[in-house]
Chains A and B, each alone.
Chain A
Amino acid sequence: MPLDNAPDSKRKYNVVGTRPLRPDGIDKVTGRAKFGADATAPGQLVGRILRSPHAHAKIRSIDTSKAEKLAGVKAVITRDDFPDHTDGDSGLYDTMYNIMAREKALYEGHAVAAVAATTPAIARQALKLIKVDYEVLPHVTDVDDAMKSNAPVLNNKMFTDGVDPKPKKASNVARRFEFGHGDVEAGFKRADIIVERSFKTEATHQGYIEPHAALASMSPDGSAELWCCTQGHYMVRDVCARILGIDISRLRVTQSEIGGGFGGKTTVFIEPVALALSRKANRPVKVVMTRDEVFKATGPTSATSMDIKIGVTKDGLITAADGTFRYTGGPFAGCSPAEFGAMSAFAQFHLDNVRAIGYDVLCNRPKTISYRAPGAPMANFAVESVIEELAHKLGMAPIDFRIKNAAREGTRSSYGPVYGQIGLGATLEAAKNHPHFKAPLGPNQGRGMAAGFWFNFGGQSCVSLNIPIDGTITVSVGSPDIGGSRASMCMMVAEELGIGYDQVRAIIADTSSLGHNDVTDGSRTTFATGMACILAARDAIKKLCARAAATWGIPEDAVTWEKGYAKPAGANAGNFQPLSLKEIAAASPGTGGPIAGHHEYSADGAGVSFATHICDIEIDQETGASKIVRYTVIQDAGKAVHPSYVEGQFQGGAVQGIGWALNEEYIYGKDGRLQNAGFLDYRIPVCSDLPMIDTMILEIPNPGHPYGVRGVGETSIVPPLAAIANAVAAATGVRFTQLPMSPPRILKGIEDAKASGAKKAA
């Protein structure tokens, strides 16, 4: 439920809004922090996974007999070790199919067997002794090819959902979504100018530095422990328990420090495999992915193909917007974020006539997993590229065109609901007035901009707050800290209790120590878990006041809490010396025992988020090489709890977007195999590639949070693709409609334009 107390705009904060040192900093820079692969257990075995070399193949049989006989091998598992406990839950069945192939291998790198052995060498040798009899099938990796009527069909029981009448022929199109309102055709009739273009983007990986790692220990009595790096250890517990057919309460999952997730660690890959190996070997088993496995077998985002058509009057008012968004989901239905691409594509505009159609398409690629604002960056690239082109055709400054058509309070969003108070207009005005926008450009440089949107959500959180006898505070949360949330949690608790940040420490509790917490995703943690922290602190304050009241012999409601002290609420309550948190804590053994605050919550009211980005790029006209020379992120954070972390989120999203726009891509050979499964060939930006990303935090309070907080983790990856494409177009005179805009593609675009003697799309 949403909190009913809207933020007090006049509130003065003591801790929130400051920039204290991060609590995990020293451990991380000194190497003391324990990441997934750092977990160890006595007698642990090495787990290794055999993966399909084929993009699409029927598995006729798997012979593990030779591997099982190899000295040092303690367990070999295949599909036969995962009986179907999914009870008709198709999503869970697909997750199980993804972690261990069943009838078919559906992409190169799909797990087909696994071993547990005493050494890595023996494990590798055992994998070679497993004989898999494959019947290689035709494959398809391109989204447009996968939608053709003659494409190899991955699932012959797949009949497109959302089409009337439902097709009788199986296809790779799992679902069709349609959003919008008004009459698009009528809107286009009123338009003076229409721009219509098609776009393609390649799949990119979340690119976290830490590969997946899991250590599993399962006892013969069926109880189990698991240590792993994940964005949601409660999700890991629930999914693994259901796949393995054990009670959820018998599996205890502890989350390690995490070396990046960005949405890619919101599901399971090796965790059920490690547990199944441990169950069979009766020994702890550790599985750590190689980088090659991370690229081939964990989730990239979708590759896409999109058509956009937007019409405007000569005065610069958009009359209609129409888009079709085709997204790859890997081999299973419901995995692509096509619906969120379609829903978010036009969300930054005030539109009377809008239609967005999304297609979720199967292909022989790894199962698509969320990546920061899933589905939105690609759609935004396409739409904001057309917006920029329309502005030029109108002879209007692109910023003024966007301001004129911007969504505002009362706008019916392109996905349906009417907006409340939103910050898009403020980010656009701030961009227009930013020094970056007026700075001169050098030779071969171009400037672009884009505005983007993301939904944000809340979800379930559970927090415990313990006050030991010295009055310091331990906050137990169940949301993995992937972006500095521990600091934010401590700050909000300190703010409520009226004490210093250094008096509060936060830990990430394991799944048996605290109630359920949803995955850290959807930009939810500072908003939702933070709100649970605030309410747990208020619960503790109530108990602290009760102890003071009992000590003074006055009613509980005659005590108030101010700046870390219990005080009589007024003159009628009596004349008592205020009691500090430390005094009440020290007396607690004799006044009723331990003092703790708790809150369990399902938070809603997260509030949508908007950002505007400005990018300057320089293009080497002879090589096509590009360099970002200046970049500015302007985003509404509602209220920045720890501004440095907020800025870090803005910068991180921008950098990932820069990589997506300029270099990152999954490259498939004709054989359906990934050609660049490593950071040497899959080029993510490094510090030397980038300028310092400038940031501007706007604070337009979210009425759904007592401090006005909005999630900030995802929106910042939405505008960069388009902002950079618009900057490249300005620098080269060529409109690029395919990502990445790598040097060869830019050079070809420049040369083609020269050859044709005209500016054109590339």
Chain B
Amino acid sequence: MAKVIVWGSLKPHTGGKTTVEIEARNVQELLARLGETYPGLQNQIKRGVSVSIDGLIYREGWLEPLKPDSEVFLLPRMQGG
């Protein structure tokens, strides 16, 4: 199961946990299951998120595969100037 770490202020939506475990083959599945498991996260996911998988940031990459032991950080959707 991938280890998913959410940023601190999303904790209220994950029962106070910053780290949750999700079974998913790729980012798309991971976000869908995160939203199903923790409905409070759906607003943020809809608003836009980026993810970091094992240290590498993905702004889109919905089909990026996840390894069973991947460390995934949920991050605000990257913006730039």
Contact = CB atoms under 8 A, between A and B. Distances in A.
A260 to B, nearest CB: 11
A606 B8 contact: no
Contact of B78 (A357, A372, A457): A457
B30 to A, nearest CB: 15
Given A370-B79, A373-B81, A459 B64 contact: no
Contacts of B57: 417, 455, 457, 604, 606, 608
A206 B78 CA distance: 19
A604 B79 contact: no
Interface string A577-620: 00000000000000000000000001011101000000000000
B59 interface: yes
Most buried by A among B8, B12, B71, B75: B8
Contacts of B81: 206, 262-264, 266, 370-374, 521-522, 713-714
Contacts of B47: 91, 334
Interface string B1-23: 00001011111100000000000
Contacts of B7: 177-179, 415-416
A418 B55 contact: yes
Interface residues on A, range: 35 or more
B31 to A, nearest CB: 15
B60 A177 contact: no
Contact of B55 (A166, A420, A458): A420
A215 B64 CA distance: 40
Most buried by B among A166, A357, A522: A522
Nearest to B6: A416
B11 A524 contact: no
Contacts of B9: 161-163, 175-178
A522 B78 contact: yes
A608 B61 CA distance: 17
Interface string A427-470: 00000000000000000000000000001111110000000000
A457 B51 CA distance: 12
B52 A1 contact: no
Contacts of B58: 604
Interface in A696-748: 704, 713-714
B80 A523 contact: yes
B73 A522 contact: no
B40 to A, nearest CB: 10
A417 B11 contact: no
Contacts of B63: 1
Contact of A164 (B5, B11, B52, B76): B11
B56 A179 contact: no
Interface in A137-166: 161-166
Nearest to A459: B59
A367 B59 CA distance: 24
A355 B7 CA distance: 11
Given A602-B61, A604-B57, A457 B11 contact: no
Nearest to A88: B46
B18 to A, nearest CB: 9
Provide the main secondary structure of the chain B interface.
mixed
B8 A522 contact: no
A568 interface: no
Contacts of A602: 60-61
B21 to A, nearest CB: 16
A340 B79 contact: yes
Contacts of B43: 161
Contact of B60 (A371, A417, A418, A604): A604
Contacts of B10: 162
Contacts of B80: 263, 370, 373-374, 455-457, 521-524, 714
B8 A179 contact: yes
Contacts of A20: none
A1 B55 contact: no
A374 B80 CA distance: 6
Contacts of B59: 457-459, 604
B76 A339 contact: yes
A337 B11 CA distance: 21
Contacts of A343: 75-76
Contacts of B61: 1, 602, 604
A374 B79 contact: yes
Interface string A1-32: 11000000000000000000000000000000
Nearest to B43: A161
A348 B27 CA distance: 28
A348 B47 CA distance: 28
Interface string A257-290: 0000011101000000000000000000000000
A673 to B, nearest CB: 26
A180 interface: yes
B67 to A, nearest CB: 15
Contacts of A522: 78-81
Contacts of B50: 457
A649 B56 CA distance: 25
Nearest to A528: B59
A93 interface: no
Interface of B: 5, 7-12, 43, 47, 50, 52, 54-61, 63-64, 71, 73, 75-76, 78-81
21 contacts: A2-B56, A161-B43, A162-B10, A163-B9, A163-B12, A164-B11, A175-B9, A177-B9, A262-B81, A264-B81, A334-B47, A340-B76, A417-B55, A417-B73, A418-B71, A420-B56, A459-B59, A459-B60, A460-B60, A604-B59, A714-B80
Given A417-B71, A418-B71, 19 more contacts: A2-B56, A161-B43, A162-B10, A163-B12, A164-B12, A175-B9, A179-B8, A206-B81, A334-B47, A339-B76, A373-B80, A374-B81, A417-B56, A455-B57, A521-B80, A522-B78, A604-B64, A605-B56, A606-B57
